[in-house]
Amino acid sequence: MSLTTYIIFAIIKLAIVLFVLLTAVAYIVLLERKVVARMQNRWGPNRVGPFGLLQPLADGAKFIFKEDIIPDSVYKPLYIAAPMIALILALTSISLIPFGENWKIAGYHVPLEITAFWNGNSIQDINIGLLIILGITSIGVYGVALSGWSSNSKYSLLGSLRASAQLMSYELSLGLSLVGVLLISGSLSLRQIVDSQGGSIVNWNFFGRLQFIAFFIYIMAAYAETNRIPFDLPEAETELVAGYHTEYSSMKFAMFFMAEYCNMVTVACLATILFFGGWHSPFEALHIAAPALWIAISPVFWFVVKVFFFIFLYIWIRGTLPRFRYDQLMAFGWKFLLPLSIANIIVTSLVLALRS
């Protein structure tokens, strides 16, 4: 595949994925409000459109029409750039996620991943895809740290320091919990990790390869990375006014909001890829005959179902658990999750060494 065809297909895939992602982010906000409301025995938004389905449009209109206040004493370049950094990084990590095998469109093989191409007889992915996603998570700390400092307000500064310290502490456990998966699949490329889990549901890294401890460490560290309950102390309204986005209004606040939900989607996608077999169907071992259209759609269908389940898990936990205090949060990250993830690496490598 030549460079120009790759770029044209990448731009088309990028436009489709961005459109789907931003719509999904808007509707995840609505889903969260409805699900948390039903858990609290009330209705949630149901006035705007049938079952409240046009509520994201109303929210978007509200954000656009709100007055964009920039306080006088902020450090303007960083104040305007910080939410953009957060949103750009959150959207970039979607480009590395594979949604399925390739589709044959008009004679070209088009892999269902923005950063992959067909090199004649197989799909060529980025060899260090997982490391790039970890790198994007590491740089994402800047969006939080710079926004709090540039707001020139003590609540924002304290909130952003707390949030940055939390992010950096849980990045360690996040990275180490993925080492078990890497040892088993032997590659950093996301597509090869999913391919090593093919065959049947027993091959998935959560079930047959016994990475359930790594999965729970990953989920807890990822909840702390995306600042969700039970780890959302830096942005709770009852603490520190609103943390690092106190001084932001309308579109910039909406950018932080969208970045948080995009990060949720990325975490859910990574959890399915690394631990739950990606786009493989759980009934794959049964070898049920299916029409060609279903075989083409089924990877995307199963991927979306699994991602939806993880987002529902996020919202379910949000409706159920109280939040950690800051010292409990840091103690949990450093004194419990980090030794547990190192123990997981040791046990996984021992089992792998004894088996071979």
Binding site for other proteins (CB under 8 A): 75, 78, 127-128, 131-132, 134-135, 138-139, 141-142, 145-146, 149, 157, 161, 164, 168, 186, 188
Q: How far is CA 143 from CA 45, 87, 131, 146, 161, in A?
A: 31, 9, 20, 6, 12
Shortest reach from residue 173's CB to other proteins, in Å: 15
Residue 236 has phi, psi (to 5 degrees) of -75, 145
Instruction: Give 141 or 193: the residue with its C-beta nearer to other proteins.
Output: 141
The C-alpha atoms of residue 136 and residue 156 are separated, in whole angstroms, by 23
Shortest reach from residue 135's CB to other proteins, in Å: 4
Nearby residues of 187 by Cβ (< 8 Å), 6 or more positions away = 127, 193, 196
Shortest reach from residue 141's CB to other proteins, in Å: 5
Q: How far is CA 28 from CA 63, 188, 192, 272, in A?
A: 17, 30, 29, 18
Shortest reach from residue 78's CB to other proteins, in Å: 7
The C-alpha atoms of residue 351 and residue 356 are separated, in whole angstroms, by 9
Shortest reach from residue 287's CB to other proteins, in Å: 34
Shortest reach from residue 116's CB to other proteins, in Å: 16
Instruction: Give 138 or 250: the residue with its C-beta nearer to other proteins.
Output: 138
Instruction: Give 165 or 313: the residue with its C-beta nearer to other proteins.
Output: 165
**Sign of CA pseudo-dihedral 284, 287, 293, 296:** positive
Amino acid identity for residue 129 in this structure: G
CA nearest to 348, candidates 356, 282, 278: 356
Shortest reach from residue 148's CB to other proteins, in Å: 8
- Beta-bridged to residue 123, according to DSSP, are 118
Shortest reach from residue 144's CB to other proteins, in Å: 10
Amino acid identity for residue 76 in this structure: K
CA atoms within 13 A on the CB side of 34: 17
Query: Are 94 and 266 within 8 A, CB to CB?
Result: yes
Query: Are 82 and 150 within 8 A, CB to CB?
Result: yes
The C-alpha atoms of residue 243 and residue 154 are separated, in whole angstroms, by 10
DSSP string computed for 134-146: HHHHHHTHHHHHH
Give the chain's radius of gyration (CA, Å). Answer: 21
- Beta-bridged to residue 110, according to DSSP, are 103
Shortest reach from residue 82's CB to other proteins, in Å: 11
